[in-house]
Structure 1
Amino acid sequence: MGYGLTEHPLTYIREQRGWSQQDVAMLIADGRNMASWRQKVNRWEKRGVRPEDAAQYVLAKELGVPRRIVDKNPWPSWLLFVLMEERTADPWTADTAAQALAGTLGALDDRRGFLILTDASLAHIAEGWTDPSTLPPDEKVRQAVEGGRIDTELAATVERRLADLWVVDDYVGGAQSARLADTDLSMVVSMLRRGTYSLDVERRLYAVAGGLCRMAGWGSFDGGRPAAAERYWHAGLRASKHADDVDGGIYILSNWAMQRFYAGDGHEAIALLDAAKGSLGHVSETVHAMLETWRVRAHANLGEADEAAKALMRAEKHWEQRRPEDDPTWIYWMQRPSTTIEPNLAMLQLEQPQNVESNLREWIDLDGHQYPRDHALALTVVGTAQLALGELDTAIGTGREALSLLRSIDSGRVGDELKEFLDKLPDDRLAREFREEVESN
């Protein structure tokens, strides 16, 4: 995954507690009279080998995890209960939103290269977002300080900075834009902590904080830091709820669903999209089209070709009924669902590469200086489709175009897709030359 990330929960737990692999092996040996082989622990962490139940129970006892949690959550999922830092079951109040935002400061330094929230945690988050009883309190109930030093003009300034970040991300990729968003988030959190403002300005600041968390989370995901992304999105969803920013919360949930289906977790991706669809408030047809478009990929993860096709049909119908004047400003990038990248990645997952190139023709013909990250991803998807159709020379040429664009951006997500493309290439001279070209960059 790169970036020197810790890619297994047990590795992270060991690092936090100062344990070596031998320490873990000896711990299990003491508990159940088995040879203390460090190689066993290495295989659990590096090769994805599942420890036998007895060994898991001994380890869980040492870590303070109840046996029922181990039985209900297959390895290594139960280890996440040791690592849980996000207070996902807390009430959805202004105080917990502020605490969650403050807890994201420094999240970019989170070295965990794995998803950190359990299915139960995500369920709590989705329930909190859609629960009408957790809407922000009325001004009659809440005391607000009018005429404070943070006025509407300053609120408008930070809103413009957020909008500018969307464009920056299109050009430089997630890793760099995440750092910019994190810096601005620190500023907004300080304003909320120390400033005085009206209720209207407060809600605008929380909406910006939610948007910055969305942006920092997206950049973390795109840059290959999934744990940091989940920390940002949890806080951002709480901030959006307090701001009564329905569109902002939906955008966070949709990004979160995307990370889950990129990780191969179609079920949780669908649950997050369901939470977004169940949002209380007006949702534009274009946003509905986006949610159904992402659902196509989630169903493809599960091998559900018929459900994927139905979701794409619904997305196209929403697109046809859209009214651009109803759209939130952040969805400027959305286009006809069948011509977007994710449904075509879904077609590859479902072994249906025939129409991918024609669907993505607009991306193939795009000027390389416009949206270089998405252009590189689209070219990688098209190259994979060409390879599946037996067009090796053409596929390698398309892959080279994608590689040339990736040199100018920082996107671990697109880099991972290119690596998967490389893994599918046959072992011949052209493919070997291209692999060497990729490795040298």
Structure 2
Amino acid sequence: MVLDHFSTKSDPEPEFDRRRDVTADQPLSPLSHPMAYVRVSLLGMGKAQFAEALRARAQLLGYNLGTTRSTVFKWERGDHDPDEIAQIVIADLLQIPASACRSAPWPKWLPAWDAQVLSTPWAMGDTLKNLKALSASGRMDRRGFLGIGGAALVSIGTQWAISAPHCDPSLEAAGSGDSVTPAVVDRLSQRVQSLHALEQEAGGGGFIESGKTDLELITRMLDNGRYTEETERRLYALGAEVCCLLGWMNYDASFNSAAQRYYAAALRASRAANDDTLGAHTLCFMAVQAATHQEQTAAVGLMESADGVRRRVSLTMQASLAAHQATVLLKSGQEKAAGQALNRAFAALERSNSDDTPAYLQWFGEAQLRSTEGRFLLSTGQAAKATDALEKSVDQAPRRDQAVRCGALALAYQQAGNLDGALDATSRALDLIDNGGIHTQRGVERLREVHKALAPHRSESRVKETRARIAALTTL
């Protein structure tokens, strides 16, 4: 009997996929599913080779598995999940206990993310090792999926919240490096602020390597330099800031698993620096990423960890916390609670003072809050009001954010029945991304939504032209 019933009969696969079947000696393209990452990066197999290996392993285990290349294609496209027997065989091939595939739903039990960041103690030396590993690593991006979710994702925030702040003497220098003076840290901080500005103007995808260079500098100073305890704290705070920025830039480029690694490292470094604001700031970004990838329960848990320091951070950070809570609650279907959080965000921002806002949080202001308000109104069926909020948000935003928000504005106009407004907003987004050199995968994905929303009007000449521009940009 053929146990894997999805493999015996299937629709033909697109021809392009046959040509791109990845083997061990071909360059990796962005992988959109954990199974694809495991197959290519860990096993170095193409789809046909992987299917053959599964059939052979199944025979050794006493099963008759009918897996084919088409079966693997459908697993990785998300059309079907492997049945129970197939998952047992996959686990055995990967030398994973069979109990593992029963402890979490498919594909979350696959080894698509290094669990070391979860299990490493939150001591200063271990945090330094974590930062060094990130700054020395090559490209680890797997575009499209989160490497960790559920309770394990919530636990990162919980560990940050309960871990004790650093009170020990400064670490002994690993070597005989130069003295790290406050002036050196000041110059390094200026470099990081320049990176923030570049990311906001042009998108983060093109500056990831620059961020990694800054992270390498910071970890080298921590590892080899001679410094006071206060300078050590500042270096860890800078390390947390750079890791959080790298997490954001990877998320903006849809390299989601890499983003999670950097966010987790940022939490550790923020705790080493005893910086509640940096930690809460990082948790906000982690929560939004989780909610975007249908990890709503985890997202709410991360925000609960962040909210635990609300009374110890500035009013600007409190406004940011409430705004991110609104986003997460809205995505989890809690509209009333989301509206209440949005009201708290506006109230806190109105009372805030820019003098108490750290440089890495200066991006948060009325423009960002209007964007959150617009998305809330759009999701709750108030498209006409959403257009007003989103127009204000776009007008006040840096260029990268304009590119993303114009897509949301186009959707709001389309839902409000204003086709001209939708096309104008879409054109602005296309000009920024296609002609303006803005790098944002999130903006591209928003345009894909616009392409679909405009389909009922495809026969109109201007709509046809606009959809063709989107298709050319996004390779729909």
TM-score of the aligned structures, taking structure 1 as reference length: 0.91
Tell me the CA shift for residue 364 of structure 1: 4.3
2:121 aligns to what SS in structure 1? coil
Tell me the CA shift for residue 380 of structure 1: 1.4
Query: Which of the residues 4, 9, 25 maps onto 2:34?
Result: 9
Name 2:8's counterpart in structure 1.
Answer: none
Change (3 A) 1:72 1:307: farther
Query: Which of the residues 374, 377, 381 maps onto 1:344?
Result: 374
Q: Is the 8 A contact 1:100 1:234 kept in 2?
A: no
Name 1:123's counterpart in structure 2.
Answer: 154
1:225 paired with 2:246, answer no
1:379 paired with 2:409, answer no
**Structure 2: how far apart are the matches of 1:148 and 1:194?**
8
**Structure 2: how far apart are the matches of 1:232 and 1:379?**
28
1:293 paired with 2:342, answer no
2:110 aligns to what SS in structure 1? helix
Unaligned runs of 5+ in 2: 1-27
Which amino acid in 1 is paired with 2:92? K
Query: Which of the residues 99, 102, 107 maps onto 2:132?
Result: 102
Superposition RMSD on alpha carbons, in Å?
2.4
Change (3 A) 1:119 1:364: closer
2:374 aligns to what SS in structure 1? helix
Tell me the CA shift for residue 5 of structure 1: 0.9
**Structure 2: how far apart are the matches of 1:149 and 1:267?**
46
**Structure 1: how far apart are the matches of 2:368 and 2:146?**
29
Which amino acid in 2 is paired with 1:164? S
Name 1:423's counterpart in structure 2.
Answer: 452
Name 1:20's counterpart in structure 2.
Answer: 46
1:356 paired with 2:386, answer yes
Change (3 A) 1:440 1:181: same
2:142 aligns to what SS in structure 1? coil
Change (3 A) 1:118 1:302: closer
Tell me the CA shift for residue 144 of structure 1: 6.2
Change (3 A) 1:43 1:144: closer
Which amino acid in 2 is paired with 1:424? A
Query: Which of the residues 141, 152, 163 maps onto 1:111?
Result: 141
Query: Which of the residues 241, 246, 261 maps onto 2:291?
Result: 261
Tell me the CA shift for residue 209 of structure 1: 1.0
**Structure 2: how far apart are the matches of 1:289 and 1:410?**
28
**Structure 2: how far apart are the matches of 1:85 and 1:78?**
11
Tell me the CA shift for residue 378 of structure 1: 2.0
Tell me the CA shift for residue 343 of structure 1: 3.7
1:78 paired with 2:103, answer no
1:105-142 Cα deviation digits (max 9, x unpaired): 2556113122112334323321221115x210244xx5
**Structure 2: how far apart are the matches of 1:119 and 1:100?**
22
Change (3 A) 1:219 1:364: closer
Tell me the CA shift for residue 75 of structure 1: 0.9
Query: Which of the residues 317, 322, 331 maps onto 2:347?
Result: 317
Tell me the CA shift for residue 424 of structure 1: 1.3
Q: Is the 8 A contact 2:433 2:439 kept in 1?
A: yes
Tell me the CA shift for residue 94 of structure 1: 1.0
**Structure 2: how far apart are the matches of 1:289 and 1:212?**
22
**Structure 2: how far apart are the matches of 1:211 and 1:337?**
22
Q: Is the 8 A contact 1:293 1:312 kept in 2?
A: yes
Comparing 250-259 with 115-124, which one deviates more in the overlay?
115-124
Q: Tell me how many residue pairs correspond in the alignment.
A: 432
Q: Is the 8 A contact 1:148 1:198 kept in 2?
A: no
Tell me the CA shift for residue 229 of structure 1: 0.9
Name 2:430's counterpart in structure 1.
Answer: 403
TM-score of the aligned structures, taking structure 2 as reference length: 0.84
Tell me the CA shift for residue 246 of structure 1: 1.7
Tell me the CA shift for residue 219 of structure 1: 0.8
**Structure 2: how far apart are the matches of 1:138 and 1:421?**
54
**Structure 2: how far apart are the matches of 1:88 and 1:339?**
32
Tell me the CA shift for residue 212 of structure 1: 0.8
Which amino acid in 1 is paired with 2:261? R
Which amino acid in 2 is paired with 1:398? A
Name 1:45's counterpart in structure 2.
Answer: 76
1:104 aligns to what SS in structure 2? helix
Change (3 A) 1:202 1:166: same
Change (3 A) 1:401 1:231: same
Name 1:155's counterpart in structure 2.
Answer: 185
**Structure 1: how far apart are the matches of 2:375 and 2:72?**
35
Name 1:392's counterpart in structure 2.
Answer: 419
1:78 aligns to what SS in structure 2? coil
Tell me the CA shift for residue 338 of structure 1: 8.2
1:84 aligns to what SS in structure 2? coil
Which amino acid in 1 is paired with 2:354? P
Comparing 273-282 with 231-240, which one deviates more in the overlay?
273-282
**Structure 2: how far apart are the matches of 1:415 and 1:361?**
19
**Structure 1: how far apart are the matches of 2:413 and 2:228?**
57
Unaligned runs of 5+ in 1: none
**Structure 2: how far apart are the matches of 1:158 and 1:390?**
50
Tell me the CA shift for residue 210 of structure 1: 0.9
1:244-296 Cα deviation digits (max 9, x unpaired): 12212222111212222222322222222111112387211221111111122
Change (3 A) 1:383 1:280: closer
Change (3 A) 1:143 1:410: closer
Query: Which of the residues 89, 92, 100 maps onto 1:69?
Result: 100
Tell me the CA shift for residue 161 of structure 1: 1.4
Q: Is the 8 A contact 1:101 1:189 kept in 2?
A: yes
Comparing 312-321 with 51-60, which one deviates more in the overlay?
312-321
**Structure 2: how far apart are the matches of 1:356 and 1:378?**
12
Q: Is the 8 A contact 2:149 2:290 kept in 1?
A: no
2:279 aligns to what SS in structure 1? helix
2:312 aligns to what SS in structure 1? coil
Tell me the CA shift for residue 154 of structure 1: 0.6
Query: Which of the residues 257, 263, 266 maps onto 1:236?
Result: 266
Q: Is the 8 A contact 2:117 2:261 kept in 1?
A: no
Q: Is the 8 A contact 1:159 1:208 kept in 2?
A: yes
Change (3 A) 1:396 1:143: closer
Name 1:437's counterpart in structure 2.
Answer: 469
Change (3 A) 1:174 1:90: same
**Structure 1: how far apart are the matches of 2:167 and 2:447?**
48
**Structure 2: how far apart are the matches of 1:334 and 1:313?**
16
Which amino acid in 1 is paired with 2:43? R
